[in-house]
Amino acid sequence: MTGAPTGSLSRINSLDIQVWEWPGTEPAVLLCHATGFHSRCWDQVVAGLAGHRVIAFDMRGHGRSSKPAPPYAWRSFGQDLAALAASLGLRGALGVGHSIGGHAMTLAAALNPSAFSSLILLDPVIFPEKAYTGPWTGAWIMSKRRNYWASPQEMFERFENRAPFASWHRQVLRDYCEYGLLPHDDGFVLACSPEVEASIYEHNSMPESNIYAEIATIEIPVRVVRSSKRYEGGADMAASPTSSNLAARFRCGTDLRLEGVTHLIPMEAPALVTELIRESLQQGQMQTA
């Protein structure tokens, strides 16, 4: 098991970004979470990486990081990540991103190539190119999320038997509730507000969110890991949004389809994610030996 992380704020692109770091050996593992979540959702993944340096952070609008007013352009997340990697002095790190975190990690690797030696993209929200035509009109659904809670325990009890949370690892759900709320008046509010979350979803298919030109420049190994549950439209948050031929668009891309999990791979199968990370680290060590 790993010990408790050290928390700090980094000033990135005029924002305060919350960073958590577990000390250990290089190369570092840099983790980037999904929309509406936060860095401590990775705790159960990190628990199996004892001895390795691991870094997780809250993206803008999330967790304990700054929360500028909408709109939230997708490229800003990758630009923040590239700048954060530079500020941390990362060289040859393993980048792991889930959902929008996979999109951000990909753009960051293109913007700051020396920071990364390989990537693992967990069901990244990178659509087929033809999908980048304009705002997603279903984003208003996110703005209707319940925002106010009496306590993290109330949130946990509300979610534990409801989809999609019922299929989560129990401790991941507790971590999500514990670190996903901020004190407000006599209770708590979501650390990623419904308005911020809705803005992010609205911009997911904007033309400027298309990063295929940057993908073509990435030379390091990239493993695309995606759920076999295919997206068929609407607001199905359990289905994979990843373009089916995404891995082939990278110069050194490989594809892994997973059965028995949804889009929420790190929440449902943290031990599997840990194993994928350990495999990648071992492969990197063999290549440099």
Pairwise CA distance, residues 289 & 276, whole Å = 20
pLDDT at position 285 is 73
User: Mean pLDDT across the stretch 84-112?
Assistant: 98
**Following CA atoms 80, 255, 234, 265 in sequence, which dihedral angle do they give, to the nearest 10 degrees?**
-70
Pairwise CA distance, residues 94 & 104, whole Å = 14
pLDDT at position 284 is 79
For the beta carbon of residue 114, count every other beta carbon within 10 angstroms. Answer: 12
What digits encode the pLDDT tens for the residues 60-97? 999 999 999 999 999 999 999 999 999 999 999 999 99
Q: What is the dotted CATH code of the domain comprising 6-128+211-288?
A: 3.40.50.1820
**95, 146, 157: which is closest to 122 by C-alpha?**
95
**43, 61, 59, 272: which is closest to 177 by C-alpha?**
43
Per-domain boundaries in the chain = 6-128+211-288
What digits encode the pLDDT tens for the residues 48-61? 999 999 999 999 99
Contact 241, 127 (CB under 8 A): yes
**The pLDDT of residue 191 is above 70:** yes
